[in-house]
């Protein structure tokens, strides 16, 4: 029945059926094979009946509040004030703003959507092709799941019984490396683009609150200071979130609620990008972003529970031990496997299923669960921007107003020269994800 369950999931996903429904069918067949299919609803409910999982709706709502409240535009203004005068500086601005935005929302897709819609018109006016911007932002979205807080790391921490706080710290250096690699790839490309006008379009007047500078860049320190002062409330949000977690004032879950409250206060009272009468719309958007993820986690968790009950993870670990694969070969196989899964399955679903399946193998091989968690999140994140499923590509295409097939080439280039080198280094150098341990 397990084979039938896996086959049904693969076939349904390839047919375009909703991922949650596909895993629901798979969970039904899998549970039928190990016990009673009627257990699926109760197991699915217990999967999401978890206090740490409350962080997911909170952080997604915080991202929506940021976008509606004008926080994201202040972040873009701030980064542009320091990088905009470089040739290719607006690309660095995109990467930097994505990193800061991701440090608040914890979501790759939310980062792609927000940064794509804000940055595309500005970068296009400066000579950047839309397809280039879309390809870059689809990969820059990975910063949202590496730099803490990160929703996939929360899911992994729950599924693998690993400290979420340690996972957050483990993603910092890989996230910063990814920012550097994306920026460097952009700057190398920009050197041979005479049509870029980053340096030639200085800002000559202040912008109205909540708007990105219209095709102009800061001419000097005064502008940079002004943008910094305007961005201070936004920049304090990740400081409050992470500072509160690691100082012991609140848990990662409670930090999500703090982020929502802080974002509301800033959006309503400081930037005034939100109005009391529009809060219900923001709440609705946050709910619509959360519901599909939680349904997928619930049914994916039921399927993963059935796999565990069948004894497959333990049997797989014993088989690999008998084969006697060297550690480097095992790491390569695991990475390739997770990359392929990431191309086909939504990230949080994949984590819920793969973490309990692979953890016995990882433990037996002596790989630290925190390092493996960062590697898994990065692998599956690359899958978010890799066809055929590639939600980041389709979100970026919509946000940037460009057909998806026109931007795929640029997405793959940023993956090849940006994300894959970081993945290799994270595998080879454990300290990068375990510096805090």
Q: How far apart are CA 7 and CA 17, in angstroms?
A: 14
What are the angstrom distances between the C-alpha of 187 and each of 86, 91, 190, 196?
9, 8, 5, 11
Residues of the chain with pLDDT under 70: 84, 198-221
Q: Tens digits of per-residue pLDDT, 187-245?
A: 999 988 888 776 654 433 344 444 444 444 445 567 778 888 888 888 888 888 888 88
Task: Check residue 61 and give its pLDDT.
Answer: 86
Q: Tens digits of per-residue pLDDT, 135-146?
A: 999 999 999 999
Q: Tens digits of per-residue pLDDT, 354-387?
A: 898 899 889 888 899 999 999 999 999 998 898 8
Task: Check residue 272 and give its pLDDT.
Answer: 82
Contact (Cβ atoms closer than 8 angstroms) between residue 100 and residue 74:
no
Task: Check residue 215 and give its pLDDT.
Answer: 43
Task: Check residue 214 and give its pLDDT.
Answer: 45
Give the three-class secondary structure for 271. coil
- Tell me the pTM: 0.84
Q: How many Cβ atoms from other residues are within 10 Å of residue 403's Cβ?
A: 11
Q: How far apart are CA 325 and CA 321, in angstroms?
A: 7
Task: Check residue 369 and give its pLDDT.
Answer: 95
Contact (Cβ atoms closer than 8 angstroms) between residue 231 and residue 253:
no
Task: Check residue 211 and give its pLDDT.
Answer: 47
What are the angstrom distances between the C-alpha of 298 and each of 17, 305, 396?
17, 11, 27
Contact (Cβ atoms closer than 8 angstroms) between residue 240 and residue 35:
no
């Amino acid at each position: 029945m397990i084979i039938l369950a896996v086959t049904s999931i693969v076939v349904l996903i390839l047919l375009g059926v909703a991922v949650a429904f596909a895993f629901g069918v798979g969970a039904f067949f899998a549970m039928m094979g190990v016990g009673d299919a009627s257990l699926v609803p109760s197991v699915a409910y217990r999967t999401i009946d978890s206090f740490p999982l409350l962080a997911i709706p909170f952080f997604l709502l915080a991202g929506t509040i940021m976008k509606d409240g004008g926080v994201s535009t202040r972040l873009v203004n701030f980064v542009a004030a320091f990088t905009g005068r470089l040739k290719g500086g607006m690309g660095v601005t995109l990467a930097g703003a994505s990193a800061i935005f991701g440090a608040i929302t914890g979501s790759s897709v939310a980062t792609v959507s927000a940064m794509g819609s804000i940055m595309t018109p500005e970068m296009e006016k400066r000579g950047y092709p839309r397809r280039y911007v879309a390809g870059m932002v689809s990969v820059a979205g990975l910063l949202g799941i590496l730099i803490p807080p990160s929703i996939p790391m929360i899911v992994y921490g729950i599924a693998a019984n690993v400290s979420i706080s340690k996972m957050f710290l483990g993603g910092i250096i890989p996230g910063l490396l990814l920012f550097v690699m994306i920026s460097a790839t952009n700057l190398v490309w920009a050197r041979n683009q005479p049509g870029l006008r980053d340096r030639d379009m200085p800002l000559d007047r202040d912008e109205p609150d909540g708007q990105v500078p219209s095709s102009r860049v800061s001419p000097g320190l005064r502008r940079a200071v002004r943008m910094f002062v305007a961005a201070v409330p936004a920049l304090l949000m990740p400081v409050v979130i992470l500072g509160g977690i690691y100082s012991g004032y609140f848990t990662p879950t409670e930090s999500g609620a703090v982020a929502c409250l802080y974002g509301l206060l800033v959006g309503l009272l400081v930037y005034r990008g939100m109005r009391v009468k529009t809060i219900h719309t923001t709440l609705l958007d946050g709910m619509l972003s959360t519901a599909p993820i939680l349904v997928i986690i619930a049914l994916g968790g039921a399927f993963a529970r059935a796999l565990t009950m069948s004894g497959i993870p333990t049997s797989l670990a014993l088989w690999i031990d008998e084969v006697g694969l060297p550690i480097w070969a095992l790491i390569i196989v695991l990475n390739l496997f997770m990359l392929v899964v990431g191309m086909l399955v939504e990230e949080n679903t994949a984590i819920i299923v793969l973490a309990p399946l692979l953890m016995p193998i990882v433990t037996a091989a002596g790989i630290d669960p925190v390092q493996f968690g960062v590697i898994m999140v990065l692998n599956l994140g690359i899958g978010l921007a890799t066809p055929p499923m590639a939600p980041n590509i389709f979100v970026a295409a919509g946000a940037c107003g460009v057909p998806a097939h026109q931007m795929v080439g640029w997405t793959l280039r940023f993956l090849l020269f940006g994300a894959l080198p970081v993945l290799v280094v994270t595998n080879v150098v454990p300290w990068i994800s375990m510096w805090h341990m």
